Structure 1
């Protein structure tokens, strides 16, 4: 294994849904072979009340985004109903630099990002002044947890803007791949992907024939609860940092 290509000969499997190709390019630069086989798929959640809910967003003091998927779906709604970024006068909180970058891309400015990109850290660190917390809105996915709603010491409204479902079409391909390629490394970015793998693939492959990387302590805990070992977890919760951690 050369110093300039420390992942040479390794297959790096992404089980989530990367939002940009730069992480694949990084794996290739390091000598590895990136393969994307997402176990979950997201799509915008559309309701008849979307326009009405979008128009009420400026009445909230803070909008809270925990994922790029939420930002993308929110941006689609803004475009569909002709709402400009200038009309969204609320302050914006984002979990993660990638989520913040996605918000910037659609014209919104982020005022708060937690030091660790996780909902449980967010609720500890998010401490706006009293006059900034009259109304909060959490832009969520269909299977989002209750941490934001229940552990923030404020009244939090929720708006489901995207759905998360099992990506059935990738399950068989991933099962075959991990059974034949023993030098594979599986990267998990969410408990949702962990659950799908545990239900659909692990009964046939087990957890012990490949290396496992996880983004975040919540995903790590989900893997451990399913009986998996976690070999790599980065201190900064991004896919890029996870790949870089693989070579240490």
Structure 2
């Protein structure tokens, strides 16, 4: 770890589950100490009709994924029922480069990614050129909003493939760390994590005494509504860019 850097002496807490160790290495590169303390836990939803639903995927023109968790749960079903990606001819849309990378890793080719990685921008920019009326399947989590179903001008069906729940042990760990560390940053990657933190941690620790970062404008909105001051938000909505933005922010105020 560098002796000095814009994050020297900074404890950087990730409240989501980073899918890559790259962001931890980046924090260390800037002189900080990364901590992984996920506030939510993700679990695949397994149902008796999974095989039938999986086979139906080949009937849709587009499959839409907005998270790596959805990709992981979907791939688990593909493996369980021996469904190779070549048997799914649907076009693939992904919200975010990391979600796209997860899809490409299991064989799919991603044909659309919005310029800003959020569902509200996706529905504005997703305009396939096919003339016929399209059938679209949205692979989602249990806490996903309704914007894709309601605002896309196509026949949109949904398949909830994973569920999200609170991770109480991480709340305690975060509170203890924030009480102990003088310079700390808490990074949020989803409104779900914000809600858990607001309910479990804020009554104990409040919103002051540490820096708050949001991966994008939807998470930022959730934080502002919860009473937080968001000091860091990247232009590109990835954890890597969030860490880069944090480093620039700390450098400015040193």
Shorter-chain TM-score above 0.5: yes
Contact 1:61 1:132 in 2 (8 A): no
Please tell me whether the aligned partners of residues 143 and 163 of structure 1 are also in contact (alpha carbons under 8 angstroms): yes
The answer on 1:81 being equivalent to 2:77 is: no
Deviation string, structure 1 residues 56-108 (Cα, Å, up to 9, x no partner): 10100000000000001111110110011100100000000000000000111
Q: Which runs of 5+ in 1 are unaligned?
A: none
- 1:182 paired with 2:160, answer no
Task: Give the alignment of 1:86-165 within 5 angstroms.
Answer: 86-131=86-131, 133-165=133-165
1:190-233 Cα distance to aligned partner (Å, 9 max, x none): 00000000000001111011001101100001000010000000
Provide the rounded CA distance (Å) in 2 between the counterparts of 1:174 and 1:11. 11
- In 2, the alpha carbon distance for the partners of 1:29 and 1:223 equals 27
1:134 Cα offset (Å) = 2.1
Q: Is the 8 A contact 1:214 1:242 kept in 2?
A: yes
Corresponding residue for residue 10 of structure 1? 10
Between the aligned partners of 1:56 and 1:237, the Cα distance in structure 2 is: 32
CA contact (8 A) 1:61 1:133 kept: no
- Measure how far apart 1:131 and its partner are: 3.2
CA distance in 2, matches of 1:3, 1:180: 21
Residues 42-81 of structure 1 mapped to structure 2, 5 A cutoff: 42-81=42-81
| Count of residues in correspondence between the two structures | 247
Partner of 1:36: 36
Equivalent residue number for residue 208 of structure 2: 208
**1:19 — aligned with what?**
19
In structure 2, relative to structure 1, the CA distance for the partners of 1:217 and 1:46 (3 Å cut) is same
Q: What SS does structure 2 have at the residue aligned with 1:43?
A: strand
Supply the RMSD in Å over aligned alpha carbons. Answer: 1.3
1:178 Cα deviation after fit = 1.2
Normalised by the length of structure 1, the TM-score is 0.97
- SS of 1:247 mapped into structure 2: helix
Q: Residues 133 and 18 from structure 1, CA distance in 2 versus in 1: closer, same or farther, beyond 3 angstroms?
A: farther
The alpha carbon displacement at 1:182 in A equals: 2.7
SS at match of 1:104: helix
Gaps of 5+ in 2: 249-254
Large movers: runs of 4+ above 3 Å: 130-133
For residues 128-152 of structure 1, give each alpha carbon's deviation from its aligned partner in whole angstroms, at most 9, with x where no partner exists: 1243642100000011111111111
If the length of structure 2 is used for normalisation, what is the TM-score?
A: 0.95
Partner Cα distance (1:105, 1:133) in 2:
30
